C-alpha cells in the first residue's frame, strides 16, 4: 500500500480559548503523540463557539491537511454547538448511540450517584454518518468522519477524556491507516548557557548538517534543549542521526544536563534512584514550587522525603532551625540563612541531601542592596554545604520558575560532584 | 471618527508549538488584554518555522481580520525566519535601528556583562517599512506594519518581552486607533456543582437573557465560572448587565465562591487579609502544590506562614508531630492522620488556620480499601478541626490539582463558617 499523506491540523473550539480564560494544553500533548507515529501537525487553529467560524475552519483546513483533529464544544450546555454543526457539515442526522447511552447512564448511576438529566441523555446522540469513538472517561462520545479522502476526528476538550480517546482509539487507527515513517528525534538538554552563545558555539556543526536532519533550539527557563530530527527510521538514517547527535554532545559536553528529552526533576530523580539517596527541601522564595515539581513525578516518594515551606521567618526558625541571630544579622535572603535552612532540614528529615532557597521574587520587597530577583540557594550533604547566589530580573512567576530550575541544576551538579 | 472594525487574529510561530514541546500561554494573556480594550480575537493560528506556512497564514488572516498579532520566530538563531519573511512580505529591506542597537548593546554590556556577538547585532535590524516597537526586556525589537488598511504587529515569543511591548506600546496604540466599545464581562465562580447541573438550574434564566448579553460556562478543576458579557459600556447596557448578573447570583448563591473573576487562592487571600488571620499548610499528597498556589500571589506573606511538605511518613512525624501509633493504626491516608497533621502544623507555626492533605494520587499505591484518588483533608483552627474525604478518579496531575482546589474550598467554607 502506498503511504497516504499525513499532515494534520488541530482545531480547538471554544470562546474560553479566545477570551484567554483557558490555556490550551491539549494541542501540545496531541502534537507530541501524533509526532511519535509520524503525523506532522503543521497548523493549529482556535476558533470560538461561532457557527460560521467553525464551519469555515473545517472547509479551509480540509483543503490544507489530511487529518483534522477537533477538540471542544461537545459539552451539555447551550453554547456547545460542535455536534449539530458536524452533523450538518457531513450531511447526517442525530441518532442515539446505544453504547454511548449505556456509558452516560453508568457514569451517572454508578459513579456520580445522581439523577440523569435530559441534557445528559442528549450527549449519547451522534450523527449517523460517523464512527463513534467511545469515551471511557466522560459522557461525550468522540466522532470519526471521512469526506473526500480527508479524516475528521472530533473529541471533547476535557484533557483526560481527549487523552483517553487518543490513546485507546485515535492513534492506533491513524497508525493503521497511514503507515508512515515516524519522525525520529534525538534531544539533549543544556543549562546555564544562553541560546545565542550556544548557537555561536555550534554554528559550524549546524551549517554542515545533512539536509534531512533538522536542528531546533528550545529555550525554557534557563535551559535550552537542542533537538535533531529526521523523518524515517531506516537503519541508515538513524545511524546518521546518531552520529550527528554524538558530535553535538561533544560540542556541548560541559553544559549538558542529559542526552534525552527529560526535565530537570526527572534527571535528578534518576540520579537519586541510582545512588539510593534521598532529598529534602526548605523553600522560602519558591514557596513549595520545587517540592511540587519533584512530587509531580510518579514514584518520587522513593527519593523525596518532603521538608519545609519556610515562608515566614518564624517558620524558618521553628521548622528548619535557623537561629534568630542569623536572621537578624544577615537577613532572610543571605548565604548564612540558606546554609542553616539546608542543614536544618537535612537534620530534621534525615535525608542525604537538602536544598534550600531564599530570595526576593517581586514585585515588592526589593532594596538597593538586595533588589527584586536576588536569590540565595543552599545545598547540604552529609559532608559539606554549598551556596550559590543568583540574580534574576523578571516578574514574580518567572523568577520562581527560574529559581527552581537553577537551584535544581546546582543540586544536580553538587550530587555528581561536577 | 467612525470606529474601525477591530477583529483580531493571533498568529504564533515556532516548530516548538507544533511538536508539543511548548505550551502556548501567550495567546491567552494577549486575548484577555485585547478584550479589555474591545478587540475581539476570533481566531488563533499556530504555524511552524516554515516560510510558505507563515506566508500563507499572513495572507489568509489579513482577509479575515483587521489586526494580525504575530509572536515568535524573532530569536537570534537560524531557525528564526520571521523577520526576513516580514521584510519581504511588506516589500522592505533590513536596516539597523539605532535605538534597538543601543538597547542590544546595553543588555550585553551592562546586564549580561558578556561580549556582543555578530548574531546579536543582527537583532537590531528591522525592515525599513515598519514602525519599531522597542523591547525594554530583551534584544529583539517588535515591528508594526500597515498594509491595505490592516495592521500587523510582530513581537518576540518570550512571554515577559511580549507582555512588556503589549502593555507599553501595542495596547495603547490600538486603543487610540480603534476607539471601540469595550467588552464588559461580569463573572462569578462556583464550586462543588457540575456544569450540567448548573445548566439545568439556570436554564430558564439563560433562555430569557436579552440578545446582547451572552452567557458562558467555564469549567476548571471542580469549579465552574459563569460569565455574562456585553459589547459596549453605555450606562444603560451596563445597568442591564448588572441586573441580569444579580439575578444569576441569586440562582447560584449556595454554590458561589465569589462574584468576581478570581481564583480560589485570591479569594482565600482576601478573606485572610480582611480578618487579619494567618494560614499554614501540611501537605502530603499535594506535595507543595497548595503552598505554591498560595505563594504565587504577590503579598501572600501577609497571611501565609508556610508549613511542611510532609511527604514521607517520617517527615509527617518530625515536622508535623503525627504520632507513630496513628500512622500504624490508621495509615497515612486517614482522618486521624490529617487531623494530627493540621493540628501539628498549626501548633508549630502558630497560625490561625492550618490545612492538611493526604491521599493516593496514582498511578500506583492504591488498594481495594483506598483506591487511587482517595483523599483526606484536615482543617484546623484554634477551636476545632474539621475533616473531609474526597474521591477522585483521574490521573496524577489532575488529582493533585483537584485536591488542591477542593481542599482550598473546604478551607474557605471553614473560615467563613459556611
pLDDT interval class at A122 (50, 70, 90): confident
Q: Distance from A353 to chain B by nearest Cα, in Å?
A: 15
Residue B2: the pLDDT is: 43
Contact between chains at B315 and A23 (C-beta distance less than 8 A): no
Pairwise CB contact (< 8 Å): B306 & A305: no
Q: In this model, does residue A43 exceed pLDDT 70?
A: yes
Query: For the residues of B122-135, what is the DSSP string, one character each?
Result: GGGEEETTSEEE--
Which of B64-94 are b and which e, b meaning 16 or more Cβ less than 10 Å from the residue's Cβ? bbbbbbbbbbbbbbebbebbebbbebbebee
d(CA A217, CA A198): 9
The pLDDT score that the predictor gives to residue B110 is 75
CA distance B254 to chain A (A): 18
Better pLDDT: B344 or B117: B344
Sign, Cα dihedral of B288, A350, B319, B389: positive
Residues B59-72 have a mean pLDDT of: 94
Decide if B46 and A44 are in contact by the 8 Å CB cutoff: yes
Q: What pLDDT score was predicted for residue A19?
A: 82
For B281, nearest residue in chain A (alpha carbons)? A309
B100, B132 in Cβ contact below 8 A? yes
Residues B222 and B391: beta-carbon distance below 8 Å? no
d(CA B145, CA B152): 5
d(CA A75, CA A82): 9
CA nearest to B312 within chain A: A305
Question: Which chain B residue has its CA at the smallest distance from A312's CA?
Answer: B305
Kindly state the average pLDDT of the residues A220-243. Answer: 88
CATH of B183-258, one of 1.10.287.3510, 1.10.150.20, 3.30.70.2860, 3.30.70.360: 3.30.70.2860
Q: Report the residue of B13, B164, B315 to disrupt the A interface, i.e. the one with the largest count of A CBs within 10 Å.
A: B315
Among A187-201, A384-398, B220-234, B239-253, the minimum mean pLDDT is found in: B220-234
Nearest by Cα to A215 from A197, A228, A232: A228
Q: DSSP letter at A116?
A: P
The pLDDT assigned to B4 comes to 59
Domain span(s) for CATH 3.90.950.20 in chain A: 264-416
* pLDDT score at A141: 94
B257-286: average pLDDT:
96
* Best B40, B42, B77 residue to mutate vs chain A (most A CBs within 10 Å): B77
Instruction: Pick the residue from chain B with its C-alpha nearest to A351.
Output: B315
- Please state, rounded to an integer, the average pLDDT across all residues of chain B: 91
Q: Do A124 and B204 contact (CB within 8 A), yes or no? A: no
Give the count of beta carbons closer than 10 Å to the beta carbon of residue A103: 21
Cα distance from N-terminal residue to C-terminal residue, chain A = 53
Residue B280's pLDDT is 98
CA distance A236 to chain B (A): 24
Buried b (16+ CB within 10 A) or exposed e, A131-142: ebbebebbbbbb
Residues 6+ apart with CB under 8 A from A406: A222, A375, A377, A388, A390
pLDDT tens digit string along A138-173? 889 999 999 999 999 999 998 889 999 999 999 999
- The pTM assigned to this predicted structure is 0.82
Interface probe for B, chosen from A10, A55, A196, A301 (most Cβ of B below 10 Å), is A196
Residue A4 pLDDT level (bands cut at 50, 70, 90) = low
- Residue in chain B lying closest to A184 (CA): B19
Sorted by sequence, the CB contacts under 8 Å of residue A410 that are 6+ apart come out as A377, A379, A386, A388
Is the Cβ pair B227, A21 closer than 8 Å? yes
Q: How confident is the model at residue A341 (pLDDT cuts 50, 70, 90)?
A: very high
Q: Contact at 8 Å (CB) between A368 and A360?
A: no
Residues of chain B with pLDDT > 90, as a percent, come to 69
CA distance A147 to chain B (A): 23
The superfamily (CATH) of domain B7-178 is: MoaB/Mog-like domain (3.40.980.10)
Of B316 and A234, the one with more pLDDT: B316
Instruction: Answer whether residue A245 shows pLDDT above 50.
Output: yes
**Among A325, A311, A316, A303, residue whose Cα is nearest residue A348:** A316
CB pairs under 8 A between A and B: 316
Nearest to A394 among B160, B288, B298 (CB): B160
**CA-to-CA distance for B56 and B58, rounded, in angstroms?**
5
Query: Hey, what's the torsion of the CAs at B299, B300, B304, B305, to 10 degrees?
Result: -60
Q: Which residues of A touch B349 (CB under 8 A)?
A: 312, 314-315, 318-319
What is d(CA A343, CA A378) in angstroms, rounded to the nearest whole number? 9
Which residue in the set B18, B160, B261 is minimally distant from A41, CB to CB?
B18
- Whether residue A117 and residue B218 make contact (CB cut-off 8 A), yes or no, is no
Low-confidence winner among A297-311, B7-21, B347-361 (lowest mean pLDDT): B7-21
Q: Is B243 helix (H, G, I), strand (E, B) or coil?
A: helix
More confident residue, A122 or B240: B240
Q: Where in chain B is the domain with CATH 3.40.980.10?
A: 7-178
Mean pLDDT for chain A?
Answer: 91
pLDDT value at B399 more than 50? yes
Query: In this structure, which topology does domain A264-416 adopt according to CATH?
Result: Maf protein (3.90.950)
**In which band, very low, low, confident or very high, does the pLDDT at A393 lie, cut at 50, 70 and 90?**
confident
Min distance A7 CA to chain B CA atoms (Å): 12
3-state helix, strand and coil shares in percent for chain A, rounded to the nearest 5? 45, 25, 30
Average pLDDT over residues B100-109: 88
Q: What is the pLDDT of residue B1?
A: 38
The pLDDT of residue A406 is above 70 = yes
User: Is A28 in Cβ contact with B17 (below 8 Å)?
Assistant: yes
At B67 the pLDDT is 96
ipTM, two decimals, is 0.82
Chain B hits for A137, CB-CB cut-off 8 Å, are 394
Q: Are A140 and A165 in contact (CB under 8 A)?
A: no
Question: Which one of A60, A289, A394 has the shortest CB-CB distance to B288?
Answer: A289
CATH 3.40.720 is the classification of domain A191-258:
no
In which band, very low, low, confident or very high, does the pLDDT at B222 lie, cut at 50, 70 and 90? Answer: confident
Compute the distance between CA of residue B139 and CA of residue A96 in angstroms, rounded to an integer: 57
Provide the CB-side half-sphere exposure for A289 (13 A, CA): 25
Residue A1 has pLDDT above 80, yes or no: no
**What's the gap in Å between the CA of A254 and the closest CA on chain B?**
19
Range(s) for CATH 3.30.70.2860 in chain B? Answer: 183-258
Using a 10 angstrom Cβ sphere, with 0-12 exposed, 13-18 middle and 19 or more buried, the burial of residue B417 is exposed
Residues of A in contact with B226 (CB under 8 A): none
Lowest mean pLDDT among A110-119, A186-195, B355-364: A110-119
Per-range mean pLDDT, top range of A18-27, A32-41, B314-323: B314-323
- The secondary structure of residue B111, as a DSSP letter, is I
Tell me how far CA of residue B299 lies from CA of A363, B163, B415, in angstroms.
9, 22, 20
pLDDT of residue A172: 92
Amino acid at each position: 500500500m502506498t503511504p497516504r499523506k499525513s499532515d494534520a491540523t488541530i482545531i480547538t473550539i471554544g470562546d474560553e480559548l479566545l477570551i484567554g480564560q483557558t490555556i490550551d494544553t491539549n494541542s501540545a500533548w496531541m502534537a507530541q503523540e501524533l509526532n511519535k507515529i509520524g503525523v506532522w501537525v503543521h497548523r493549529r487553529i482556535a476558533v470560538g463557539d461561532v457557527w460560521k467560524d467553525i464551519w469555515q475552519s473545517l472547509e479551509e483546513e480540509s483543503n490544507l491537511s489530511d487529518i483534522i483533529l477537533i477538540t471542544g464544544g461537545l459539552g451539555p450546555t447551550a453554547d456547545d454547538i460542535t455536534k449539530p454543526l458536524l452533523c450538518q457539515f457531513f450531511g447526517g442526522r442525530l441518532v442515539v448511540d446505544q453504547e454511548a447511552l449505556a456509558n452516560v447512564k453508568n457514569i451517572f448511576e454508578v459513579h456520580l450517584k445522581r439523577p440523569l438529566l435530559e441534557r445528559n441523555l442528549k450527549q449519547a446522540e451522534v450523527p449517523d454518518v460517523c464512527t463513534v469513538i467511545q469515551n471511557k472517561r466522560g459522557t461525550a462520545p468522540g466522532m470519526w468522519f471521512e469526506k473526500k479522502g480527508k479524516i475528521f476526528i472530533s473529541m471533547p476538550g476535557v484533557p483526560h477524556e481527549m487523552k483517553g480517546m487518543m490513546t485507546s482509539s485515535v492513534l492506533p487507527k491513524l497508525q493503521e491507516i497511514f503507515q508512515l515513517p515516524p519522525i525520529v528525534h534525538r534531544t539533549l538538554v543544556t543549562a546555564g548557557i544562553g541560546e545565542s552563545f550556544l548557537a555561536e558555539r555550534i554554528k559550524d556543526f549546524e551549517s554542515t548538517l545533512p539536509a534531512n536532519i533538522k536542528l531546533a533550539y528550545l529555550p525554557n527557563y534557563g535551559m535550552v534543549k537542542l533537538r535533531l530530527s529526521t523523518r524515517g527510521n531506516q537503519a541508515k538514517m538513524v545511524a546518521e542521526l546518531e552520529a550527528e547527535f554524538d558530535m553535538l554532545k561533544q560540542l556541548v559536553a560541559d553544559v549538558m544536563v542529559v542526552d534525552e528529552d527529560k526535565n530537570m526533576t526527572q534527571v535528578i530523580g534518576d540520579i537519586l534512584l541510582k545512588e539510593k539517596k534521598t532529598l529534602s527541601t526548605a523553600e522560602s522564595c519558591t514557596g513549595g514550587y520545587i517540592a511540587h515539581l519533584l512530587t509531580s513525578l510518579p514514584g518520587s516518594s522513593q527519593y523525596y522525603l518532603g521538608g519545609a515551606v519556610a515562608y515566614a521567618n518564624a517558620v524558618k526558625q521553628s521548622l528548619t532551625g535557623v537561629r534568630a541571630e542569623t536572621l537578624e544579622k544577615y537577613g532572610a535572603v543571605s548565604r548564612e540563612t540558606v546554609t542553616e535552612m539546608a542543614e536544618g532540614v537535612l537534620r530534621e528529615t534525615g535525608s542525604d541531601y537538602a536544598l534550600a532557597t531564599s530570595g526576593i521574587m517581586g514585585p515588592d520587597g526589593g532594596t538597593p542592596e538586595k533588589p527584586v530577583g536576588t536569590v540565595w540557594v543552599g545545598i547540604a550533604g552529609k559532608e559539606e554545604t554549598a551556596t550559590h547566589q543568583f540574580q534574576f530580573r523578571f516578574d514574580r512567576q518567572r523568577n520562581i520558575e527560574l529559581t527552581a530550575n537553577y537551584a535544581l541544576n546546582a543540586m544536580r551538579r553538587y550530587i555528581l560532584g561536577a
